[in-house]
């Protein structure tokens, strides 16, 4: 547990990032993003001297190099956070194991990118880290095995984004990437709904989340802190519209003065195989079935 971050101690001098060399396009990308916001950059070739540097100077952001194993980055993060509990550290890696994402979340990494990743998404995450001058981790891993991870997530958009990126970092060769992307997309829609409607984007509120990897299915459970809702009464959402009139919810939203919206649940429903709500409507499970492995021909 770290002490709360106070904006009163936010640095007033030029922000500085510490970059461990990844090489090529990634270094260039990071340099461009940081320089465009006027950040100064200190570079190191590897993790070797980082701890000494960090003890001397409070870097605002650290980005690890792709060549280092995640286990080493996580160990480094643990040591850095004992001295600098609010450090924002983004792990980039070409060398990872299935459990690394859980370790990175447990230790409070800001984000995690395992190869291959989209440079534009790394750039967005770096910008998000730069925009959070006073940062406290909003993700707490309660328990974690490769098959079952339970955690809580604070009700704010940056925490949702960070969590989604951690999921993208999971590499499971038995799950086709396209299927994984659909599940993550559906999960994000449901998570944002939970944070917005259940938690009112109140950063003192948290959403409970579990991810379960069964042999032939992936399941995500999301429980929000709200009072729930009834799907039957959801006339302001596309999921509650008549199949013959997909846009009827738009008129209801207009009448009620609600912002344009209402496609989240319907979109999630279409992207996974099952979307099951509890009676109160504040807890939902998404299920995606995976094709069974082909049986050997005899």
Partner 1 sequence: MGLQISIRESGDVTILDLRGRSTINDGESELLSSHLQKLIANGARKLLLNLEDLTQVDSSGISIIVGTYVSLCSQGGDLRLLRPCARVLEVFRVLHLLEIIPKFEDETQALASFGTRGSSATP
- The single residue among 250, 275, 281, 290 that binds partner 1, judged by CB under 8 A, is 250
The Cα-based distances of 168 to 6, 144, 145, 236 in angstroms read: 31, 17, 17, 31
Please identify, using beta-carbon distances, which residue of 175 and 267 lies nearer to partner 1.
267
Span between the terminal Cα atoms of the chain, in Å: 57
What is the pattern of x (binds partner 1, CB under 8 A) and - over residues 144-183?
Answer: -------------x---x----------------------
Are the beta carbons of 6 and 136 closer than 8 angstroms? no
Q: How far is CA 249 from the centre of its chain?
A: 30
Asked if residue 289 binds partner 1 (CB under 8 A), the reply is no
Q: Of the candidates 139, 194, 238, 275, which one interacts with partner 1 according to CB under 8 A?
A: 238
Q: Which of 29, 38, 6 is nearest to 133 (CA)?
A: 6
What is the per-residue binding string for partner 1 in 180-219, x denoting contact by CB under 8 A?
-----x--xx--x---------------------------
To partner 1, the closest distance from the beta carbon of 86 in angstroms equals: 22
How many Å apart are CA 111 and CA 62, to the nearest integer?
Answer: 11
Among residues 90, 102, 141, 271, which is the contact residue for partner 1, using CB under 8 A?
A: 271
- Between CA 196 and CA 191 the distance in angstroms is 8
Beta bridge partners of 88: 61
224 lies in the binding site for partner 1 (CB under 8 A): no
CB of 265 to partner 1, least distance (A): 8
Q: Toward partner 1, which CB reaches closer, 65 or 226?
A: 226
* Calpha distance 209→283 (Å, rounded): 10
Q: Which of 140, 267, 277, 283 binds partner 1 (CB under 8 A)?
A: 267
Alpha helices in the chain (DSSP H): 24-36, 50-56, 70-83, 100-106, 119-130, 157-168, 177-193, 248-256, 264-271
C-alpha dihedral sign at 193, 161, 143, 172: positive
Is residue 232 exposed (0-12), middle (13-18) or buried (19+ Cβ within 10 Å)? Answer: exposed
* 226 makes contact with partner 1 (CB under 8 A): no
**How far apart are CB 192 and partner 1 at their closest, in Å?**
6
Of 267 and 287, nearer to partner 1 (C-beta) is 267
Task: Quote the tokens at residue 69.
Answer: 């194993």
Part of the chain binding partner 1 (CB under 8 A), chosen from 1-9, 45-53, 104-112, 265-273: 265-273
The answer to the question of residue 262 lying near partner 1 (CB under 8 A) is yes
Q: How many CA atoms lie within 13 A of 98 on its CB side?
A: 11
Tell me the window of 46-54, 118-126, 141-149, 284-292 that interacts with partner 1 (CB under 8 A). 118-126
- For strands 16-20 and 61-63, give the pairing: parallel
Given a contact cutoff of 8 angstroms between Cβ atoms, the answer to whether 228 and 201 are in contact is no
Q: Report if residue 261 touches partner 1, rule: CB under 8 A.
A: yes
Nearer to partner 1 by Cβ, of 107 and 250: the residue is: 250
Q: How far is the CB of 150 from partner 1 (least distance, A)?
A: 25
Chain contacts with partner 1 (rule: CB under 8 A): 120, 123-124, 157, 161, 185, 188-189, 192, 238, 246-247, 250-251, 253, 259-264, 266-267, 270-271
């Amino acid at each position: 547990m770290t002490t709360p971050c106070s904006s009163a101690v936010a640095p007033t001098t030029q922000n500085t990032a510490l970059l461990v060399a990844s090489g090529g396009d990634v270094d260039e990308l990071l340099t461009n993003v940081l320089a465009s916001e006027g950040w100064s950059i200190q570079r190191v070739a590897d993790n070797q001297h980082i701890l000494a540097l960090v003890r001397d100077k409070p870097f605002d952001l650290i980005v690890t190099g792709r060549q280092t194993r995640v286990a080493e980055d996580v160990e480094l993060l643990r040591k850095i956070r004992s001295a600098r509990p609010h450090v924002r550290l983004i792990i980039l890696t070409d060398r990872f194991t299935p459990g690394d994402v859980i370790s990175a979340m447990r230790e409070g990494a800001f984000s995690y990118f395992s190869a291959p990743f989209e440079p534009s998404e790394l750039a967005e995450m770096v910008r998000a880290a730069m925009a959070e001058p006073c940062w406290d981790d909003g993700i707490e891993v309660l328990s974690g095995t490769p098959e079952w991870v339970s955690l809580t997530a604070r009700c704010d958009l940056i925490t949702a984004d960070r969590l989604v990126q951690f999921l993208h970092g999971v590499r499971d060769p038995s799950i086709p990437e396209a299927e994984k992307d659909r599940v993550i997309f559906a999960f994000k829609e449901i998570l944002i709904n939970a944070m917005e409607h259940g938690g009112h984007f109140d950063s003192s509120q948290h959403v409970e989340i579990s991810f379960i990897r069964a042999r032939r299915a992936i399941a995500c459970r999301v429980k929000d802190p709200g009072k729930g809702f009834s799907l039957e009464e959801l006339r302001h959402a596309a999921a509650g519209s008549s199949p013959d009139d997909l846009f009827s919810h738009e008129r209801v939203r207009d009448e009620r003065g609600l912002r344009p919206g209402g496609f989240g649940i319907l979109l999630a429903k279409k992207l996974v195989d099952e979307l099951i709500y509890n009676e109160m409507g504040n807890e939902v499970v998404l299920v995606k079935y995976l094709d069974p492995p082909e049986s050997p021909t005899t």
